[in-house]
Amino acid sequence: MSRNLLQNKKIFITGHRGMVGIALVKYLKKKRCKNFILVTKKQINLLDENKVNKFIKKKKPQIIINCAGRVGGILANSTYPVEFLNENILIQLNLVNAAFRNKIEHFINLGSSCIYPKTSKQPIKEEYLLSSHLESTNEAYALAKIVGLKSCEFYNKQYKKSYFTLMPCNLYGPNDNFNLKNSHFIPALIKKVIKSRNKKNSKIEIWGTGKPKREVMYVEDLARAIYFCLEKKLNKDKKFLKIIKQNPVINIGSGNEFTIKQFAKMICKIANKSENLIFNKNYPDGTMRKILDNKKISSLGWKPKISLEKGLIETIEWYKENYL
């Protein structure tokens, strides 16, 4: 039986004010972890290599979990590719380099399912990375995240480290970004549906055709997966260590795959809003289907717990409490 070796570890979580970071800290506290290093952008600029290294050297964390980065939907990615590329590369490299220089044994990087090739076979296996062209609508972000992922892989090969990257599918939940200019599709749909609910005969605009299929996961399930993998590593689980030695990338999927149109209808139903949907085909669809192969983490005994309906209800309630 595995022991909870995380309770007394000093854990540095970057991006702790973002959706993933907030969910992760909350879940780790539930698991009785209490020794956190949590700092704001004002306290440490993750884009500054020298400052990051000095900070890690001074604070001496035992575990680094990188939840920081510039994120956004198709519109944000296509509008600000330079920022998406530069900022995400710098954040990841500064952290992994500092982890190595300061002999930090445990480094977890977060990737994203959107960095897989546009024409990947489905479900997408970890080894499909870089097998074909990337999706043009988020190419800059994908390239940057691939650099972070590969840096972990190269440190493992060259210096016998065991850093690894978790690759979640599309995430949603409390503390998501609901700004229509740079949000992902679930929070954008929620905001549009709620805003139109009290307007008679109001239409809900969906960007694109509504036909692309997406897999989504409630953010708490990702927090559970991070804890699960860390626990396996700290307990020196042979199967886990063998998996990350072969390929230090692990998909974290949910199996909840629907079209954008179906997601919109579900949200309308939960929010008691009539389905008055219109599709703006002037916006690109992006990749037409994207679902992760979950066999690696499933073979270790992990599976998601939060149903799509429950997750959407929780997220809609959070949105109404915080934005209305």
Alpha carbon of residue 22 to chain centroid: 12
Question: Is position 116 annotated as part of the catalytic site?
Answer: no
With beta carbons less than 8 A apart as the criterion, state whether 196 and 203 touch. yes
203-254 per-position pLDDT tens digit: 899 989 999 999 999 999 999 999 999 999 999 999 999 999 999 999 999 9
Q: Which of 27, 116, 141, 319 is catalytic?
A: 141
**In the structure, what pLDDT confidence band is assigned to residue 198 with cuts at 50, 70 and 90?**
low
106 alpha carbon, distance to own chain's centre: 19
β-pair partners for 18: none
| Per-residue CA distances from 28 to 5, 24, 125, 167, 189 (Å) | 12, 6, 28, 19, 30
* pLDDT digits 0-9 by tens, 38-59: 999 999 999 999 999 999 999 9
For the segment 64-84, the average pLDDT, to the nearest whole number, is: 91
Partners of residue 205 on adjacent β-strands? 278
Torsion of CA 208, 315, 24, 177, to 10 degrees: 50
CATH 3.40.50.720 fits 11-323, yes or no: yes
Phi-psi region of 167 (alpha: psi -120 to 50; beta: other; left: phi over 0): beta
CB atoms < 10 A from the CB of 317, how many? Answer: 12
Average pLDDT in the 141-153 region? 97
Q: Where are the domains of the chain?
A: 11-323
